[in-house]
Amino acid sequence: MLGVGDTFPAFNVKATAELPLKDITIDNVFIDVHNQSYKGKWLVVFFYPKDFTFVCPTEIAAFGDLNEDFKDRDAQVLGGSTDSEFVHWAWRKHQEELRDLPFPLLADVKRELTSALGILDKHEGVAQRATYIVDPDGIIRFAMVTDLNVGRNPKEVLRVLDALQTDELCPCNWKKGDDTIDLQDATSEKPGKKAA
């Protein structure tokens, strides 16, 4: 699995557009998304196993609820699975909380991106429940994978993005607005000890 410090793989996939259901037409429902689509932005890319399941819509809706917070931090959220763009579209129409989803759902039907990331589940053949924060230079700064049955916490992903964007040392449970660690103060308090 690719991790922190690795370059996020180049990709070019079909996606279901982030438009509200009432604004979608046959001409704008499917879009192409690639690694240069959001040049200069942070990316929050999360993968889930399958459409029309039970845990996945709770996570997708939770990321949707926080979308404006991510946008305020110059970050683009992208969801994705190995389902096709057509299945994504059918699910969005069917699932109430996904109808006005404010970010694209990537369709990695060839499993190229999930394979390049190393998150294609060996037993199920679907994307693992993986989350990445990618900086504007395309470098992975955060990576997390949970069991297929266990949903993630989008608020924690937002907290980590906030911490990464400080470019400072952030202690355990740090949140936006808290003090960061001043390395000079930390090392001067205990002579002979180095902070980490």
Say which of 13, 15, 29, 56 is annotated catalytic.
56
Closest alpha carbon to 104 in 125, 80, 82, 122: 80
In the numeric block, which tokens belong to residue 140?
Answer: 């992975």
| Residues constituting the chain | 196
Contact 8, 39 (CB under 8 A): no
Taking the C-alpha atoms of residue 158 and residue 164, their distance in angstroms, rounded to an integer, is 10
Contact 64, 103 (CB under 8 A): yes
Taking the C-alpha atoms of residue 122 and residue 131, their distance in angstroms, rounded to an integer, is 18
Taking the C-alpha atoms of residue 37 and residue 45, their distance in angstroms, rounded to an integer, is 13
Q: Please name every residue paired with 16 in a beta bridge, in sequence order, or none if there are none.
A: 30, 105
172 tagged catalytic: no
Active site residues: 56
